[in-house]
């Protein structure tokens, strides 16, 4: 990796940390440059402005997350629909737990982004949602006897379940999280049956 590529990688990594902890409005390019040990104008060699940097970070977060899900899903392709859905739910939470700054970033910018970057976050969240919907549909379509309620209702419910589990992950201990997660999962699973 060239020195320029290393610098760009450090800018992305430190930008992620600062945007996730301080917020978009409170993070300046100077703050990021300071963390990378470069001067602020050097960032412009890699990113046209702060919004472009933010969008690049968001894109990387989504790419890393989808790669994680794809890897995880490839190990459970022969599992039941129930196991696949549960693994998608738990795998998502594990990913955000193990990657603290990505989890904080997603929480901050998926729930209440600043107005100045709202169009960027909406576009990126739609991309992520579309990817997860494709995964969910593939799980549900593989069920031979179609024992479930309508797919769109399952997808909407699953996203609500993901949002709620994300809240629990951030606010409860590991043991409490899994107790709540399993209770909610049981109700969800029974609720999507015909």
pLDDT at 110 over 90: no
* Mean pLDDT for the stretch of residues 73-96: 87
User: For residue 145, what pLDDT is reported?
Assistant: 61
Question: Partners of 193 in the beta sheet?
Answer: 148
Question: Partners of 148 in the beta sheet?
Answer: 193
User: Binning pLDDT at 50, 70 and 90, where does residue 33 land?
Assistant: very high
Classify each residue of 45-59 as buried b or exposed e, where b means 16 or more C-beta atoms within 10 Å of its C-beta: ebbeebeebbbbbbe
User: For residue 144, what pLDDT is reported?
Assistant: 64
**Domains, in order of start, for the chain:** 1-47 (1.10.10.60), 54-191 (1.10.357.10)
**Whole-prediction pTM value?**
0.88
């Amino acid at each position: 990796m060239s020195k320029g590529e290393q610098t760009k990688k450090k800018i992305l990594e430190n930008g992620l940390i600062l945007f996730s902890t301080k917020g978009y409005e409170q993070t300046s390019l100077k703050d990021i440059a300071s963390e990378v040990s470069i001067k602020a104008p050097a960032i412009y060699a890699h990113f046209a402005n702060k919004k472009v940097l933010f969008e690049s970070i968001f894109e990387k977060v989504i790419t890393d997350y989808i790669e994680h899900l794809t890897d995880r899903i490839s190990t459970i392709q022969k599992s039941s629909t129930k196991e696949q859905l549960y693994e998608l739910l738990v795998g998502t939470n594990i990913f955000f737990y193990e990657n603290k700054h990505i989890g904080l970033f997603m929480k901050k910018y998926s729930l209440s982004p600043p107005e100045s970057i709202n169009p960027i976050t909406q576009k990126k969240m739609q991309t992520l949602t579309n990817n997860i919907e494709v995964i969910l549909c593939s799980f549900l379509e593989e069920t031979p006897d179609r024992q479930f309620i309508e797919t769109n209702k399952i997808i909407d419910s699953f996203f609500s379940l993901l949002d709620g589990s994300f809240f629990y992950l951030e606010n409860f201990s590991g043991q409490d999280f899994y107790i709540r997660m399993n209770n909610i999962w049981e109700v969800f699973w029974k609720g999507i049956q015909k």
